Amino acid sequence: MERSATAVWRGGPGAGEGQVTTSSGVVQNALYAFGSSFGNDPCTSPTEMLAAALASCTSMMVAQELSRIQIRSEGITTHATLKLEQQADGWRVVKGIVKISVQVGEIDPSEFHKAIVEAASKCPISRALNAPITVESKLEPVFVHANA
> Do residues 30 and 42 lie in contact, with contact meaning Cβ atoms separated by under 8 Å?
no
Q: How far is CA 123 from CA 19, 47, 65, in A?
A: 27, 17, 11
Q: What is the pLDDT along the chain (148 residues), one digit of tens a residue?
A: 888 999 999 988 777 889 999 999 999 999 988 765 445 567 888 889 999 999 999 999 999 999 999 988 999 999 999 999 999 999 899 999 999 999 998 888 899 999 999 999 999 999 999 899 999 999 988 766 556 5
Residue 105: which residues within 8 A CB-CB, separation 6 or more? 72, 74, 142
User: Measured in whole angstroms, how far is the alpha carbon of residue 127 from the centre of its chain?
Assistant: 13
What's the pLDDT score for residue 146?
A: 58
